Amino acid sequence: MLVEEGQAHLFAAWPAPGEADADKRRLLQQLVLLDANYHGGLAAYIHNAKQLLADSKEGRNAFDGYTPSVPEGERLDFGSGRFLQLEGQGLEAAGKAAFVLVAGGLGERLGYQGIKVALPCESASGRCFLQLYIESILALQDASGAAAEGRRLPLAIMTSDDTHGRTEALLKKHSNFGMEEGQVVLIKQEKVPCLIDNDAHLALDPSDAYAVQTKPHGHGDVHGLLHRSGLTQQWQQQGLQWVCFFQDTNALVFRALLAALGLSAANDYDMNSLAVPRKAKEAIGAITRLTKADGSGAMTVNVEYNQLDPLLRSTINKDGDVNDESGWSPYPGNINQLVLKLSSYVPQLAATGGNISEFVNPKYKDATKTAFKSSTRLECMMQDYPKALPADAKVGFTVVNQVGGSAGVGWLWLWRVFEVECMMQDYPKALPADAKVGFTVVNQCMAQDNSKALPAYTEVGFTVVNQVWATYSPVKNSPADARAKAAEGNPTHSATTGEMDIYKANCEALMLMAGADVGSPQEGMYIGIPVEEWPRVVLSPSFAPCLAAVKDKVAQGSLLLAPKSVLLLEGRDISVKNLRVDGALVVRAVPGAKVVLDGLTVSNQGWSWTPIEKVDSLTLEKAIRGFRVDSPTLEEAIRGFRVIRNETLELVFDQPGDYIVPQPAAAAAAAADEAPAAEVPGDEAAAAATAAAAAVTAKAFEAVLAGLVSKNKRRFQDGPHGFDLDLAYIAPRIIAMGLPAEGKDVLYRNPLPEIARFLTTYHGGHAKVYNLCSEHRYSADKLPGVLLQQFPFDDHQPPRDVLELYAARRTHDLNGVSIPSQRRYVGYFWRVLSSGPKPLGRLPQPRSLQLRQIHISGLPPGSAEQCSVVVEVRPSGSSAAGGSRVFASRALRPAASSVPGE
């Protein structure tokens, strides 16, 4: 077949039979796999490529004969009654929805080599994108009533060769972030052959004559993968009705997704897409209404940005794609967030095999267009699915306006001339003309179109939500590219703005829904990227699965946040009735722990986001954001941010029950009577603990005490497993931790059972614990499977060469062992170890010294009139209470600055 299709060159250099037979078989096996993975096989791939390459060479425009216009549709105000009504309908529909995450790419465009879904989406909580998405789905599973009915909402993740193994490892490491086994499924995308010329000859790998060069086919492959895996059929059999698609680094995707889902349910759309406002000539596709001159063949589709401007210039506007009076292009943008109806999606996939219309983008050597600079391939896009919908498919669009913005939410076909790939949103291109295809546009977000092949009478729609903060702030550009976009006045879509927009979105939601006072944003700049700095607010998916939940849980006018304060609320049963924060407050509550913040005032030093000037010694995660931030999670620290958590009030409620913070006076008194006494070192710490106990519940008291004892030390806090321990990873296999304790000491020390659970959870019990404390010992029986060895040390005597490492890994302020005499003795010990044979070094020889004078400087003001000084010398080991004295001075009244001795 391949020879008949003009591919004999693949075998032209083969040696005689019997030579390199293993390599020949390897090539044939690869070709069989490529043939099986493409709908219609390699013959169909070659035929499609020849046609598309011919169109490219001749410069044929897919939009010839069409006149563009701005699409019209229903517009909703973000947070309005209508919006909340659709959100409520969407929440109900979410209980019968499946979710698909397209995550086949690495972070090279960001300057980050890991998988993008592992990147922290913000620094306050340290959640990575994948954790956020899974927690959002689980929150919808709970809030929609699906969990109560015993129904799990499934998640399918499309991966690639580059991301598959690492995504598996991330899920395994974190126990699927709370999803049950089998609830999340990975489907791996295969690649397609590269092409070397206009005759669609397949390219051999330049480094291997027995391998075809391959590249990704585009995210449109997701439709075929879902079909071939049988997942869509399985979901339909389980009674699910909708499939929601989203991409890998947009933390705000779920903010408007419910409204789009509700719109789909209300209008019975076969497909609906979420779109956003876009700047003129911004490098994203635009939703556009196209109509033929004779009035036939009208369609609402995604037109790629590099096609829209020339199309407008050649038809209706000599200036092309320009911003209108709102400051945005009238053509909303495509963000590849789609909602498909399973009852029409499943039969359509069966009819087409999930095949999506393709395009090709060859880079020609010269104007003759006969040779390529490098190989190309066919591509496809997921948003082009509607192009082949049946004639009765319904396409709708709705515009959701937001405070301070003007844009639209919709879905478009993202079409690129001259590159042949496939995108998942291209599915609508295969839908029949009567399919119902909807578009949801969120202003300042971007979406893609899927209805290009629909006839004129097909209903086309999109939903537009104004302002970036509502639903779209992707992390996709490097700092250098982000700075360039900022200079042009375009959204930067960087890790820096992606994080800051999360805080902004949560502040805006609190203001809009609860009348919260969060102040005005401040202008900031990190690595040359301008940002708006709002209080660092993180509302976990469990706390706020939808906008209406914010209104239900935060009383009107009940919340005041000082500039740059930190507020993290994690738990579905937390409510705010009266809260003032000037600093940092973290509240975590397990399901069933009903926490009411009523009359709580928090005033502390809070956290700081410290700009980075030099990135040489910083990890990539730190460098691409441009700032360092203190974080309560280990994941944040090991991803490279310098943690500066100056002071935090953290309230952890790990048992179901009813809690009011602060407690009413009577309840607080009763709790104080029942609580065991706690010995906290130091008068100041004890006084602070007493004051804290009067302001929080008895359960929260333990967390406050622990924080007071830890002081500047890092704590290991892991929400999914409920850990809050005084320990830190000094190296991947070395942990420094506070003393494990039992009895009343657990109020301010690490509970021994929790240390055992931690070692089992994270290290399978394969650990050896060295107890260096000379005052307290504990039994190995309390640490099942863990080896224990006692090395009693007097306090504060570690080897010198680990002081700096210890300070960086164990504390927030690089102030580890800080007392000068302690540091001197560490230095003495280091000199002993380094002065002779390893490992013990050479001990110094004893010498006799004569003490001739004692000089004390820096006495407190006024002490000369209030004290006298006596110097006594006693034998080693004796106490001041008894024993002989070698020497005793007479009592001396201090002079102005010193006391000579005898």
Dist. CA 502–CA 254, nearest whole Å: 12
pLDDT of the residue at 771: 87
pLDDT of the residue at 879: 59
Residue 652: is its pLDDT beyond 60? yes
pLDDT of the residue at 803: 67
Mean pLDDT of 508-535: 90
pLDDT digits 0-9 by tens, 27-77: 999 999 999 888 889 999 999 999 999 988 887 777 888 899 987 656 667
Cβ-proximal residues to 317 (8 Å cutoff; 6+ apart), any chain: none
Residue 519 backbone zone (phi > 0: left; psi -120 to 50: alpha; other: beta): left
pLDDT of the residue at 396: 54
pLDDT of the residue at 414: 23
Burial of 683 (0-12, 13-18, 19+ CB in 10 A): exposed
Residue 248: is its pLDDT beyond 60? yes
Cβ-proximal residues to 341 (8 Å cutoff; 6+ apart), any chain: 241, 242, 264, 268, 269, 270, 271, 436
Q: How confident is the model at residue 11 (pLDDT cuts 50, 70, 90)?
A: very high
Sequential DSSP letters for 549-592: HHHHHB-TT-EEE-TT-EEEEE-TTEEEEEEEEESEEEEEE-TT
Residues of 36-51 as b/e, b for ≥16 C-beta within 10 angstroms? ebbeeebeebbebbbe
Mean pLDDT of 364-382: 87
Query: By mean pLDDT, which of 117-131, 538-552, 570-584, 674-688 is the weakest?
Result: 674-688
Q: How confident is the model at residue 406 (pLDDT cuts 50, 70, 90)?
A: very low
Most confident of 636-645, 708-717, 777-786, 875-884: 777-786
Mean pLDDT of 464-480: 71
Q: For residue 194, give the DSSP letter.
A: -
Regarding pTM above 0.85, the answer is: no
pLDDT of the residue at 677: 38
Q: How confident is the model at residue 814 (pLDDT cuts 50, 70, 90)?
A: low
Residue 409: is its pLDDT beyond 90? no
Dist. CA 140–CA 113, nearest whole Å: 32
pLDDT digits 0-9 by tens, 819-867: 777 777 777 777 776 666 655 566 777 788 888 887 776 665 555 556 6
Mean pLDDT of 182-191: 94
Q: How confident is the model at residue 209 (pLDDT cuts 50, 70, 90)?
A: very high
Q: How confident is the model at residue 170 (pLDDT cuts 50, 70, 90)?
A: very high
Listed as own residue / partner, the contacts of 167-170 with beta carbons closer than 8 Å and 24 or more positions apart are 167/103, 167/115, 167/117, 167/130, 170/115, 170/117, 170/118, 170/128, 170/130
Mean pLDDT of 587-611: 92
Q: How confident is the model at residue 871 (pLDDT cuts 50, 70, 90)?
A: confident
Q: Which of 310, 302, 275 is nearest to 286 (CA)?
A: 302
Contact 624, 122 (CB under 8 A): no
Mean pLDDT of 322-346: 88
Helix then strand count (H, E) for the chain reads: 22, 42
Query: By mean pLDDT, which of 104-118, 246-260, 797-811, 862-876 is the weakest?
Result: 797-811
- Percentage of the chain lying above the pLDDT 70 cut: 72
Strands 529-533 and 463-464: unpaired
The residue that leads in pLDDT, 786 or 430, is 786
Mean pLDDT of 250-269: 91
Query: By mean pLDDT, which of 107-111, 329-333, 444-448, 621-625 is the weakest?
Result: 444-448
Query: By mean pLDDT, which of 83-97, 560-574, 635-649, 664-678 is the weakest?
Result: 664-678
Q: How confident is the model at residue 525 (pLDDT cuts 50, 70, 90)?
A: confident
Dist. CA 236–CA 213, nearest whole Å: 37
The residue that leads in pLDDT, 564 or 838, is 564
Residue 397: is its pLDDT beyond 90? no
pLDDT of the residue at 839: 57
Dist. CA 756–CA 740, nearest whole Å: 9
The residue that leads in pLDDT, 637 or 762, is 762
Q: How confident is the model at residue 435 (pLDDT cuts 50, 70, 90)?
A: low
pLDDT of the residue at 360: 87
Cβ-proximal residues to 182 (8 Å cutoff; 6+ apart), any chain: none
Q: Is 649 helix (H, G, I), strand (E, B) or coil?
A: strand
pLDDT digits 0-9 by tens, 445-469: 322 333 333 333 334 445 454 444 5
HEC string for 257-310: HHHHHHHHHHHCCCEEEEEECCCCCCCCCEEEEEEECCCCCCEEEEECHHHHHH
pLDDT digits 0-9 by tens, 685-728: 444 444 443 444 444 445 544 554 455 566 777 656 778 888 88
Q: How confident is the model at residue 125 (pLDDT cuts 50, 70, 90)?
A: very high
Residue 105: is its pLDDT beyond 80? no
Mean pLDDT of 102-130: 84
Residue 181: is its pLDDT beyond 50? yes
Count the residues in the chain. Answer: 902
